[in-house]
Amino acid sequence: MPLPNPDAAVRAIAAELAALHVEDSAAILGALNERERKIIEQFLRVHIGGFQEALAVSGAAAAYDSSRLSPWLIQQLQSARQEGGTLTPTARQALLDCVAKLHPVSP
């Protein structure tokens, strides 16, 4: 039987930690000793870096027909560009991609 891969387990923990609210992940990281925290933080940087690279490659500017969107959705998309917006860059990009597929700009 093959031995378990500890890096795979740590990567899975980092992915789950990255999905949590910032305050929750900070509380969890705060409970770890310094060595454990450094290991998890490195895996978090790698995990998050993968998303940032994917966003940079995809281009971040999706074209959509804003006349077909609700005022609330337009506000969410606009506020996400500003500091302190309610959406993370990854969530904003996912939302933009969906909106562009559902309501593309008419030629």
Nearest to 74 by CA among 95, 104, 101: 95
Q: Are residues 49 and 7 in the same domain?
A: yes
Q: Are residues 8 and 28 in the same domain?
A: yes
Q: What pTM was computed for the model?
A: 0.42
pLDDT digits (tens, 9 = 90+) for 49-96: 665 555 455 544 567 788 888 888 877 777 655 656 677 777 777 888
End-to-end Cα, the chain, rounded Å: 58
**Containing structural domain, residue 20:** 1-58
Is the pLDDT at 33 greater than 90, yes or no?
yes
Structure confidence at residue 75 (pLDDT): 78
Structure confidence at residue 94 (pLDDT): 81
Rounded mean pLDDT, 6-32: 81
- Number of independent structural domains in the chain: 2
DSSP state of 67: G
